[in-house]
A = this chain, B = another copy of it.
């Protein structure tokens, strides 16, 4: 590396070290690394993005926290965890997350609107008029409209996926046609400014994809290395194609009431044709 390149890297590293990951987050008085000078940071590496991540009861915490890790790595961005009110949001795995803002407190023009998925809680969200209104209004203006897992059904119920290619959890991709979307079974699907991810764990891939879009490849690669995101699943059953038929049969049976109920919720929603 030449001296200029080295200088750039040191400045960027200093800025990253000043981010909440390390320096700014000490909670007690004991020794921790202290913030660095950010003044030498290349301008293109710091943004001013306003990111709105929607929360609702029964959402899947991992759908939310995977992308949140990646969005929080965007220097200069503000990440809002947005819910109907400020009460803790209990997720489907029984962990509770705290909102940082209510629907009415979020900036009007978001750079990213993000909606996580879930099970029964997502069907409830698809029937929640004020949540759908928030998603529809901010989705019309947001630079990027994004989701993970069954979050795409919420985008669809809000009328945001009509005519767009999109994905969802593999169980629910057949429902995408009900909201006028074109189902695509890819891991992360980008069609114009809509970016949707497959089930649950796809949130890491979606989030890192957005980091690359909003910054650059080297920035995203650095975030990937920080997350040590070189996955090695101990089994090879992550898709219906590779899973044993028994596993697929079990989940098909487990979800046999889910899709009809989700379909009914869609049909009563703006995105399903109701007004």
Closest B residue by C-beta to A120: B32
A221 touching B208 by the CB < 8 A rule? no
A69 touching B57 by the CB < 8 A rule? no
Stretch with Cβ within 8 A of B (4 or more), from A133-141, A174-182, A230-238: A230-238
Interface bits A79-104 vs B (CB < 8 Å: 1, else 0): 10100000010101111111010000
Instruction: Give the distance in Å from the alpha carbon of A256 to the alpha carbon of B227 in the complex.
Output: 17
B253 touching A225 by the CB < 8 A rule? no
Measured between beta carbons, the chain B residues less than 8 angstroms from A253 are 9-10, 13-14, 17
Interface bits A200-243 vs B (CB < 8 Å: 1, else 0): 11101100110010000110111011111111111101111011
Closest B residue by C-beta to A230: B238
B247 touching A92 by the CB < 8 A rule? no
Closest B residue by C-beta to A53: B95
B27, B229, B252: which contacts A124 (Cβ < 8 A)? Answer: B27
- Of A217, A250, A258, most buried by chain B (CB within 10 Å of CB) is A250
Count copies of this chain in the complex. Answer: 2
Chain B CB within 8 A of A160 CB: no
Closest B residue by C-beta to A187: B232
Number of interface residues of A (CB under 8 A): 108
B68 touching A119 by the CB < 8 A rule? no
A254 touching B13 by the CB < 8 A rule? yes
Measured between beta carbons, the chain B residues less than 8 angstroms from A34 are 257
A231 touching B247 by the CB < 8 A rule? no
Instruction: Give the distance in Å from the alpha carbon of A265 to the alpha carbon of B28 in the complex.
Output: 14
- Of A22, A73, A221, A254, most buried by chain B (CB within 10 Å of CB) is A254
Chain B CB within 8 A of A62 CB: yes
Chain B CB within 8 A of A246 CB: yes
Chain B CB within 8 A of A145 CB: no
Chain B CB within 8 A of A33 CB: yes
B32 touching A261 by the CB < 8 A rule? yes
Closest B residue by C-beta to A224: B237
Measured between beta carbons, the chain B residues less than 8 angstroms from A224 are 233, 235, 237-238, 243, 247
Measured between beta carbons, the chain B residues less than 8 angstroms from A258 are 22, 33
Contact A225 B205, CB 8 Å, known A58-B26, A61-B68: no
A21 touching B119 by the CB < 8 A rule? yes
B221 touching A247 by the CB < 8 A rule? yes
Measured between beta carbons, the chain B residues less than 8 angstroms from A231 are 201, 204-205, 229, 231, 233, 238
The 3 closest A-B pairs by CB, nearest first: A199-B228, A230-B238, A221-B237
14 new A-B contacts, CB < 8 A, other than A32-B121, A221-B235, are A16-B250, A17-B254, A25-B92, A27-B121, A32-B261, A61-B69, A65-B95, A73-B93, A198-B228, A200-B226, A201-B204, A212-B235, A225-B243, A230-B239
